[in-house]
Amino acid sequence: MIKLDGIHVSTEIKKQIATEVLALKNNCKKIPHLAAVLVGDDGASETYVNAKVKDCAEVGFQSTLIRLPSTISENELITEINKLNNNDAIDGFIVQLPIPKHINEQIIIKTIAPNKDVDGFHPQSVGKMALNLHTFIPATPLGVLKLIEHYKIETAGKHCVVIGRSHIVGSPMSILMGRNAYPGNCTVTLTHSKTKNLKEICLTADIIIAALGKPEFLTADYVKQGAVVIDVGITRVKSDLTKSGYKLLGDVKYDEVSAKCSYITPVPGGVGPMTRAALLLNTLFAVKK
């Protein structure tokens, strides 16, 4: 069993990005500049956004954090987004989700200029991805692709089962793994809450991508000997065994599943750091386009 080491691979990717940034600097070219819009003061969102700012610093990107009050109106937020759309200094930006409920998320996402949509959530980015055109790919699926690529895992003709059909992970993941590309060319089965015989389906999978958000859902009896298992889930659960009083669990019961796998991602240290690196790749792509 080979552990898919997201910390190692993301570090490698960040080193490559840092080298490219240095080359840009040395050639007096524009340094990539990512902006993040944080609406309100949700603790988790704060943590994510701060991590993104830190990642930018690590590779030499410029970054700007724009804090807006949770009471902001939809129109005011649209105005802020249009400022970023029209600001040539900003190459790409994200609006950290979720946003307050009085604001329509889809309207906000559609307001982001497609050429700055580094989250890859704009309908045009999603459509281009489905059409196998060069575009921004949502960070988590892109991180998974990069991990598969780094370990040169064979995908063509393999049966890939994706569990969960969220718009940010499962659904794009299923599209990407079925495209005529590497990684890709899998026979892909997309499963979700309405799926009836999930265990039976998973047992036929060469590659399982678990993105349903249920801690330790995927047990060994779902997994064929020699399968590749990618665990996208990450849930914080209470624990008496850690100082902090909690621990992070993936969607996969790691100890028992890993014994059957050819490759598996740990949680933490698997898909999580790859997601962070993928946002940097998208920002670099925004500059290069």
The residues annotated as belonging to the active site are 52, 96, 119
Pick the binder of a second copy from 10, 63, 96, 171 (CB under 8 A). Answer: 171
Pick the binder of a second copy from 174, 265, 275, 282 (CB under 8 A). Answer: 174
Pick the binder of a second copy from 196, 243, 245, 255 (CB under 8 A). Answer: 196
Residues 85-144 that bind a second copy (CB under 8 A): 106, 122-131, 133
Residue (190 or 281) nearer to a second copy, CB = 190
Q: Which two tokens mark 249?
A: 């669990």
Pick the binder of a second copy from 192, 224, 247, 260 (CB under 8 A). Answer: 192
Residues listed for the chain? 289
Q: ∠ CA(106), CA(147), CA(128), 5° rounding? A: 35
Pick the binder of a second copy from 144, 175, 274, 278 (CB under 8 A). Answer: 175
Nearest approach, Cβ of residue 161 and a second copy (Å): 9
Pick the binder of a second copy from 10, 63, 189, 265 (CB under 8 A). Answer: 189
The span from the first CA to the last CA of the chain, in angstroms, equals 39
Nearest approach, Cβ of residue 277 and a second copy (Å): 24
Q: Give the binding range for a second copy (CB under 8 A) out of 18-26, 35-43, 141-149, 185-193.
A: 185-193
Nearest approach, Cβ of residue 122 and a second copy (Å): 7
Based on DSSP, count helices (H) and strands (E) in the chain, helices before strands: 10, 11
β-pairing verdict for 263-264 and 2-3:
parallel
β-pairing verdict for 228-231 and 235-238:
unpaired
Q: Which two tokens mark 87?
A: 């600001």
Q: Are 125 and 285 in contact (CB under 8 A)?
A: no
**Contact pattern for a second copy over residues 151 through 170, marking x by CB under 8 A:** -----xx-------x-x---
Q: Does 63 bind a second copy (CB under 8 A)?
A: no
Residue (8 or 167) nearer to a second copy, CB = 167
Q: Are 208 and 222 in contact (CB under 8 A)?
A: yes
Nearest approach, Cβ of residue 285 and a second copy (Å): 16
Residue (191 or 275) nearer to a second copy, CB = 191
- What is the four-CA torsion angle of 82, 18, 271, 179, rounded to 10 degrees? 70
Total binding residues for a second copy by CB under 8 A? 35
DSSP state of 171: H
What is the distance between the alpha carbons of residues 67 and 63, in angstroms, rounded to a whole number? 13
Residue 124 burial (CB count, 10 A): 17
What is the 3-class SS of 109-153, one letter each residue? Answer: HHHCCHHHCCCCCCHHHHHHHHCCCCCCCCHHHHHHHHHHHHCCC
Kindly list the residues in this chain that would bind a second copy in the complex (CB under 8 A).
106, 122-131, 133, 156-157, 165, 167, 171-172, 174-175, 178-180, 185-192, 194-196, 201
